[in-house]
A and B are shown apart, each in its own frame.
Chain A
């Protein structure tokens, strides 16, 4: 455990502004990408940009990066794991029903 208990996981204000700028750029990029025909990859690109933005918010704004509590990271990983089970198993069923 750290001895500096007061400000143990707060980044500098400059980092926050940089992440904010990246999030704004990501938002503009996702709108621009939606207007370009990428064939079947439009949805994949949109989800990839959204996931990158979500990751930036979670790591830097929600202070997952630099969190010393391992239990907290376990909760996050478990959540994502169960979300993937929900999505993957549902899509494995509904997504393949009309294959024949």
Chain B
């Protein structure tokens, strides 16, 4: 930042100050940059958090590939694809909401936020249906777990149920943690919707919308990786 800019900012400080500008920031731009930088650092920690799980998944998949393929093929890949499309559509409505907040388009903002919530709930509903099926088929790791299936491509070789159980444990931890992030995201978007309803997201101050949007897109990116890794192993066999 140049010195002249600080001088300008302080000289206009008292008269034409944006009420949303906190006193320890020189300009609105600086305040916005600080918020989004903080969010990106948080997302960095989230990447490492999920990264550990993806790493565990990759190791076991490498070791027990046939068993993982057998377990993955009990999943309904069409439901998984539908959920991917639902999340991509929700990401589109989120960028529309950010755009609407930046341009002061109230109706578009409220509609985009409501649609995002709807897509988020649809995702969780479909996920719930899938979880229910896992419970019905005894594919939930634990005392009542049972798995009888051959390894794809090897009709005479039974998959090891212990290894399939590891797949399902990783499936539930990873999709469960992702679903938890979705639930938190829905909470954030309900809050954004009330803020937008009260007219508190304006072209001058819409940082919560921008930051909330970053979070939603991040959760979408996690699913973009989860879908092919969990649902689409060796489907051609």
Query: Which A residues fall within an 8 A CB radius of B?
Result: 1-2, 5-8, 10, 13, 16-17, 20, 23-24, 27-28, 30-31, 34-37, 42, 46-47, 49-50, 53-54, 57-58, 60-62, 69, 71-72, 75-76, 78-80, 82-83, 86-87, 90-91, 94-95
Whose C-beta in chain B lies nearest to the C-beta of A88?
B55
| Residues of chain A contacted by B133 (CB below 8 angstroms) | none
Q: What are 8 of the A-B contact pairs (CB < 8 Å)?
A: A5-B28, A16-B92, A16-B99, A57-B91, A62-B218, A78-B44, A86-B55, A87-B55
Query: How many Å from the CB of A56 to the closest CB on chain B?
Result: 9
State A8–B210 Cα separation when bound (angstroms): 12
Whose C-beta in chain A lies nearest to the C-beta of B50?
A83
Contacting A at CB under 8 A, from B210-237, are: 213-214, 217-218, 220-221, 224-225, 227-229, 232, 234-237
B172 on the A face (CB < 8 A): no
B22 on the A face (CB < 8 A): no
Bitwise, B191-204 to A at CB < 8 A (1) or not (0) is: 00000000000011
Interface centre among B36, B40, B55 (most CB of A within 10 A): B40
Is A49 a contact partner of B96 (Cβ separation < 8 A)? no
Contacts A6-B102, A8-B29, A34-B228 aside, 4 further interface pairs with beta carbons under 8 A come to A23-B88, A50-B228, A54-B221, A91-B59
Bitwise, B171-207 to A at CB < 8 A (1) or not (0) is: 0000000000000000000000000000000011000
Is A35 a contact partner of B235 (Cβ separation < 8 A)? yes
Query: How many Å from the CB of A16 to the closest CB on chain B?
Result: 5
Secondary structure at the A interface, as helix, strand, loop or mixed, is helix
Interface centre among B33, B47, B214, B228 (most CB of A within 10 A): B228
Contacting A at CB under 8 A, from B41-79, are: 41, 43-44, 47-48, 51-52, 54-55, 58-59, 62-63, 77
Secondary structure at the B interface, as helix, strand, loop or mixed, is helix
B37 on the A face (CB < 8 A): yes
Top 10 A-B pairs ranked by shortest CB distance? A34-B232, A46-B228, A79-B44, A34-B235, A20-B92, A37-B236, A94-B59, A23-B88, A75-B40, A54-B221
| Given A69-B33, A86-B48, A31 contacting B96 (CB threshold 8 A) | no
State A96–B185 Cα separation when bound (angstroms): 39
Whose C-beta in chain B lies nearest to the C-beta of A71?
B37
B98 on the A face (CB < 8 A): yes
Query: How many Å from the CB of B151 to the closest CB on chain A?
Result: 16
Whose C-beta in chain B lies nearest to the C-beta of A55?
B221
Is A54 a contact partner of B48 (Cβ separation < 8 A)? no
| Residues of chain A contacted by B232 (CB below 8 angstroms) | 30-31, 34, 46
| Residues of chain A contacted by B52 (CB below 8 angstroms) | 86
Is A57 a contact partner of B221 (Cβ separation < 8 A)? yes
Is B236 a contact partner of A62 (Cβ separation < 8 A)? no
Is B47 a contact partner of A83 (Cβ separation < 8 A)? yes
| Residues of chain A contacted by B85 (CB below 8 angstroms) | 24, 27
Is B88 a contact partner of A83 (Cβ separation < 8 A)? no
B95 on the A face (CB < 8 A): yes
Query: How many Å from the CB of B3 to the closest CB on chain A?
Result: 13
Query: How many Å from the CB of B222 to the closest CB on chain A?
Result: 9
